[in-house]
Chains A and B, each alone.
Chain A
Amino acid sequence: MPIPILKQGQILIATMPSALTDEDLIDLRGNLIGKAGAIHASGVIIDVTALDIIDSFACRLIRNLTLALRLRGAETVIVGIQPDVAFAMVQLGLSLDGVTTMLDLDDALGFLYRQNYSGEQRD
């Protein structure tokens, strides 16, 4: 079953399940980019709370996804990286440079709404 994508106004929210294959990730990428364009999304939130590992493939994919979405006019926020996952990623030298991260959904929605109505448009 593909990863469900929810819509909240102009914001898309995708919650990753704990058992995630590389194919699932690739499908998600395609779906998100497609849907973001279709609804003219201004923001995308990817919730990784359930993941207990983020490997280099996932890391690279998330970074590429963020850049691609930005090109299509949507700002991406990664939410819910767990302490152990953060620690492991840093030890392996994986970084999500240039990707906005937040503790939870609340923070992410607040951030995206502020971005949208702040008058500063990223081009």
Chain B
Amino acid sequence: MVTKKVQKETDLNKKILAELVAHFRVEREKLRKQWLVEMTAKGLVSGLDKAELDQESAAIYDTCIGCLESGRFTRAEEYARKKAERGVLKAMTSEQFFGGILTLRDIYGMSIYLKYKNDETRCIAALTLYEPVANKILSIIALAFIEEKEKTVKQQQQSILELSTPTLPIRPGIMILPIIGILDSYRAKQLTEQMLRAIRTNRAKVVVMDITGVPTIDSKVANHILQTVEAARLMGTQVIVSGLSPEIAQTIVTIGVDLSRVVTVSDLQSGIEEADRVSGYSVHSRRNEKASSGV
């Protein structure tokens, strides 16, 4: 059962809400222009096209009032998502955009105060209605931008992952797998899958896995490498691991990983020479040969 006091409050709130919405609609051009003036003074909109500015500021203003009136924020969410995807207005940074929204927030707040400053009860009621809406809109916008940034980062991470372990066939049956950068468990696993598939595609009988570009490895990664070599062997392929730096060699001995069943060499050149040897290729230098007979 709703008490008389609560009922009175609810009625008051409804009236204030209607008043506020009407007030903001009436004051629209005045407040919007004021907003533009303040943003320009803060240097938030320098270099922006005037027509576009008018259009966007009107859209934002109306979206906010729409949310205030309906109590629903779908329009704000859609607007925020669209803006975030497009990377804001063409010549505006995220900071400028947020600065602009915050300025609008202040203008709304000041407008409410000026309207109700002689009536404490209504002023408090109005602010109590307005504040949560303003906060919600701000957080919707902030979240939309954060999500967009995270999406970009994830996409970039994926591309880096794919680009960083190319599988390169260098002769029929011989493939090189140069690895660059820090090798963690996730990357090692992904590398193994990629290599095994490439072995099948390229019909590689020997793979030279070069880790010259890997600064350090731990026991988990060393075990991953062992597993990779074993899995390749099941497919009928031999893996030669090349490019073990002195540091990595020491580390492997220290952590006690048994690489005795793996053919290892110190650098890529030795790795390729070994791969040639195992595959039955021999490479001759033509420069030092005497005249005639081609090799």
Q: How far is the CA of A28 from the CA of B287 in the complex (A)?
A: 57
Q: How far is the CA of A107 from the CA of B231 in the complex (A)?
A: 18
Contact of A79 with B193 in the complex, beta carbons under 8 Å: no
Q: How far is the CB of A67 from chain B (nearest CB, A)?
A: 18
Interface size class of A (residues with CB under 8 A): 10 to 19
Most buried by A among B193, B199, B235, B237: B235
Q: Which of B197, B199, B227, B230 contacts A103 (CB 8 A)?
A: B199
Contact of A107 with B235 in the complex, beta carbons under 8 Å: no
- Tell me if B134 counts as interface (CB < 8 A to partner A): no
Q: How far is the CA of A82 from the CA of B199 in the complex (A)?
A: 10
A81 and B205 in contact, given A86-B196, A87-B193, A103-B199 (Cβ under 8 angstroms): no
Query: Which one, A6-14, A18-26, A94-102, is touching chain B?
Result: A94-102
Chain A residue numbers with a CB within 8 Å of B199 are: 83, 103
A89 and B234 in contact, given A83-B193, A83-B197 (Cβ under 8 angstroms): yes
**Chain B stretch 212-248: residues in CB contact (< 8 A) with chain A:** 227-228, 230-237
Q: How far is the CB of A78 from chain B (nearest CB, A)?
A: 8
Contact of B231 with A101 in the complex, beta carbons under 8 Å: no
Identity of the chain A residue whose Cβ is nearest the Cβ of B189 in the assembled complex: A87
A96 and B234 in contact, given A83-B193, A87-B193, A91-B227 (Cβ under 8 angstroms): yes
- Tell me if A52 counts as interface (CB < 8 A to partner B): no
Q: How far is the CB of A80 from chain B (nearest CB, A)?
A: 8
Chain A residue numbers with a CB within 8 Å of B200 are: 82-83, 103
Identity of the chain B residue whose Cβ is nearest the Cβ of A82 in the assembled complex: B200
Chain A residue numbers with a CB within 8 Å of B96 are: none
Contact of B192 with A87 in the complex, beta carbons under 8 Å: yes
Q: A72-92 toward B: CB 8 Å interface, digit per residue (1/0)?
A: 000000010111111101110
Contact of B234 with A90 in the complex, beta carbons under 8 Å: yes
Q: How far is the CA of A101 from the CA of B238 in the complex (A)?
A: 10
A/B pair count, beta carbons within 8 Å? 51
Chain B residue numbers with a CB within 8 Å of A89 are: 231, 234
- Tell me if B187 counts as interface (CB < 8 A to partner A): no
Identity of the chain A residue whose Cβ is nearest the Cβ of B201 in the assembled complex: A83
Chain A residue numbers with a CB within 8 Å of B232 are: 86
Chain A residue numbers with a CB within 8 Å of B230 are: 90, 95
Q: How far is the CA of A101 from the CA of B203 in the complex (A)?
A: 13
Identity of the chain A residue whose Cβ is nearest the Cβ of B226 in the assembled complex: A90
Q: A38-67 toward B: CB 8 Å interface, digit per residue (1/0)?
A: 000000000000000000000000000000
Contact of A101 with B227 in the complex, beta carbons under 8 Å: no
Q: How far is the CA of A36 from the CA of B39 in the complex (A)?
A: 89
Contact of A90 with B235 in the complex, beta carbons under 8 Å: no
Q: How far is the CB of A102 from chain B (nearest CB, A)?
A: 4
**Chain B stretch 244-289: residues in CB contact (< 8 A) with chain A:** none
Q: How far is the CB of A81 from chain B (nearest CB, A)?
A: 5
Chain B residue numbers with a CB within 8 Å of A79 are: 236
Chain B residue numbers with a CB within 8 Å of A82 are: 200, 235
Chain A residue numbers with a CB within 8 Å of B227 are: 90-91
A86 and B205 in contact, given A91-B227, A95-B230 (Cβ under 8 angstroms): no
B residues lining the A interface (CB < 8 Å): 192-193, 196-197, 199-200, 203, 205, 227-228, 230-237
A residues lining the B interface (CB < 8 Å): 79, 81-87, 89-91, 95-96, 101-104, 107
Among all A-B residue pairs, the 5 with the closest Cβ atoms: A83-B196, A102-B236, A86-B231, A86-B234, A90-B231
Q: With A86-B234, A91-B227, A103-B199 given, can you name 4 additional A-B contacts, CB distance below 8 Å?
A: A86-B231, A89-B231, A95-B234, A103-B205
15 A-B contacts (beta carbon < 8 Å): A79-B236, A81-B234, A83-B200, A84-B193, A84-B196, A86-B196, A87-B192, A87-B196, A87-B231, A91-B227, A95-B234, A101-B233, A101-B235, A101-B236, A103-B203
